[in-house]
Each structure stands twice: as C-alpha cells, then as structure tokens.
Structure 1
Amino acid sequence: MKNLKANDLIAKISKEIETNSVNATVLVPLLKELRDMAKSEEDPLITRSIRLAYEHLEANNGWEFQTLEDSDEVEENLLYLVSLYTKSDNKYNRDEIREIANKMTKG
C-alpha cells in the first residue's frame, strides 16, 4: 500500500500474528481499519481481499485458508497474505493477492 500509516498498520497486524497467533477478536478490527485505508487509496483488489480475509476470520473464528502450498502453519499462511499488502503495487504481489482472493470466494 502507498499510505505510510497503512504500512505501519500492516506491520502491527504482522506483529500481532507473530506474537499471539491468529486471534480473530484482535485481527478483525485491525483489518477493517486497513480496509478503510485501502478504500481511500481507491484500490478495489486490496479492499476486496482484506474484506474477504476478515470475513473468513469472523466466520471461522480463525484462519482456515491455505495461501502457501508448502506450509500448513496457520500463522505463516495469514502472514504471507498480509505481507503482500505492503508492496501491493508490485505486479507479482497483485497477481498473488488476486489469486488468493479468488480462491477465498470459491472456498
């Protein structure tokens, strides 16, 4: 994301996951705040992806979605998606975010 505050929030979300694992009660409000920032950047892909992520957390009270093919670790899978948001203007990151978002809508 382009906004410095958004990237600071992404770092906070990442630290929260690393420190306390995947706690939907804590992460959902942070992701909703991040989504508002993505909306202000007028980036529909990131906005949609973040919404799908927090809706998944709310529905499952945790992260049950595999974003990395070679890892079954819940934290690693969510951390990977969140890390892509930092440089969301990178073409390859956008492709990955789009692919993950599409899988989330199907699964």
Structure 2
Amino acid sequence: MENKKAIKLIDKILEDLDKKGINTDALVEDLKKLREYALEEQIPLVVKVLRFTYEHLEENNSFLIPIPDDEPVDDSSETSNNNASDPVESLKYLIALTKSVKNKTNISDLREYRDALMAY
C-alpha cells in the first residue's frame, strides 16, 4: 500500500502481534481500519483478504490458516516448517504481504490466503 497511515497501521499490527499475540478485539478493529485504506487505494484482493481474515478471527479467536508453501512439501523439511502452522507467524506474514502489493510473490501468496480462508 502507498498510504503512509496504512503503512503505519501495518507496522503497529505487526508490533502488537509480536508483543501480545492474537488479541482479537484490537486486531479486528485494526484490520477493519486497514481494509478501509485498501478500499481507498482500490486493491480488491487486499480488501477481500482482510475481510476474510477478521471474520475468521471473530469466529475462531485465532488464525488457523498456515503460511502458504513455497515449494512442494518434503518430509525432511517438516522440522524447519513449524512456523508455517504458528497462528501468530502466519498472520504476521499475511499482514506483511499487504505492505507491498506490487510484488508478484506477495499477490500470489495473498491469493492463496484468500482461497484458504474461503475454503475454511
């Protein structure tokens, strides 16, 4: 996103997740506000992913979507992939993706999050 207030809010959300973990009340409010910035900037994918994310948080009191895989899963790499299923790490990754939507990898991962949230 280009909006300086949106970038500050993304940084605040990431910092809060580091300090407090998933505090759904504050987090949902911040995500709704961030979604408004995405609406202003007309980034439909981010708007949708953020809505699905805060609805998921409200329903589950946690973030149960793992980080999208970069490569095919290899049994030997499972130990290094423990962060993928950590709710805080996965949510931090999703929020960080919204910072730079011009990056094709970020768009691809956001689409994977969107699809996973829709399927959940």
TM range (shorter): over 0.9
Q: Which segments of 5 or more consecutive residues in structure 1 lack a partner in the other structure?
A: none
Alignment of 1:32-71 (within 5 A): 32-69=32-69, 70=81, 71=83
- 3-state SS of the aligned residue for 2:107? helix
Match of 2:74 in 1: none
By how many angstroms is 1:68 displaced?
4.7
Percent identity between the two aligned chains: 35
Question: Which has the higher Rg, Structure 1 or Structure 2?
Answer: 2
TM-score, length-scaled by structure 2? 0.85
* Distance of 2:10 and 2:92 partners within structure 1: 10
Contact preservation (8 Å) 2:65, 2:113: no
When the two structures are aligned, how many residues end up with a matched partner? 107
* Distance of 1:98 and 1:68 partners within structure 2: 10
Residues 96-105 or 67-76, more deviating: 67-76
Contact preservation (8 Å) 1:68, 1:80: no
RMSD of aligned residue pairs (Cα, Å): 1.1
Alignment of 1:1-107 (within 5 A): 1-69=1-69, 70=81, 71=83, 72-107=85-120
Runs of 4+ displaced beyond 3 Å: none
* Distance of 2:109 and 2:65 partners within structure 1: 14
Q: Which segments of 5 or more consecutive residues in structure 2 lack a partner in the other structure?
A: 70-80
Contact preservation (8 Å) 2:17, 2:92: yes
Contact preservation (8 Å) 2:65, 2:116: no
* Distance of 2:111 and 2:46 partners within structure 1: 8
Cα displacement string for residues 8-51 of structure 1 (whole angstroms, at most 9, x for unaligned residues): 10000000100000111110000000000000001100000000
